[in-house]
Amino acid sequence: MLDAAVARRMPDLRRIFPSARRSMDWLYVEYGPGQFVTPHVDYPHNEIAPDRPKVAAIGIVLHEAAAGGEFYVETGGGDALWNEAGGIKENANIHSPWFAGMRRTRWRVTCGTGDALCWGTQLVHGTEPVSAGRNGKFIGFLGS
């Protein structure tokens, strides 16, 4: 069902992610009070098919928390995130000292039930802590 929904909207998704061709690797996640996702990068590498990288991620909200749980992306003006080949450095997550020390600006968005949100696999992102209720969503990837 999720693959069919993404396939119907693929022409729209390809306006933003031109190399996207298909959806893949769906999982369900749910966060309760005090739970959140720390800032991280998904990376384009596809373990199953290395010649077909993951272009973007997509989250489809099934139910939103009563309070908190907002999705965010973080941007920074420096080159600390990038390696010499132009890709994201390894260990781009909050547990890496170089990443934790980077200056970043956080941009938040609240998604409602039924909303779909897409972001590039090389974009720093996470979720704010849920303060009331539960936040549930399917997360998948768009592959080339």
pLDDT tens digits for range 38-79: 999 998 887 877 888 999 999 999 999 999 999 999 998 788
Report the distance separating Cα 75 and Cα 69, nearest Å. Answer: 19
Where do we find the tokens 């693959």?
3
How confident is the model at residue 20, as a pLDDT? Answer: 94
Report the alpha-carbon distance of residue 142 to residue 3 in Å, rounded: 10
The topology (CATH level 3) of 2-143 is Jelly Rolls (2.60.120)
Nearest to 122 by CA among 78, 62, 57: 57
pLDDT-flagged residues of the chain (< 70): none
Compute CA distances 4 → 7, 60, 63, 82, whole Å: 5, 13, 20, 35
pTM for the predicted model, two decimal places: 0.88
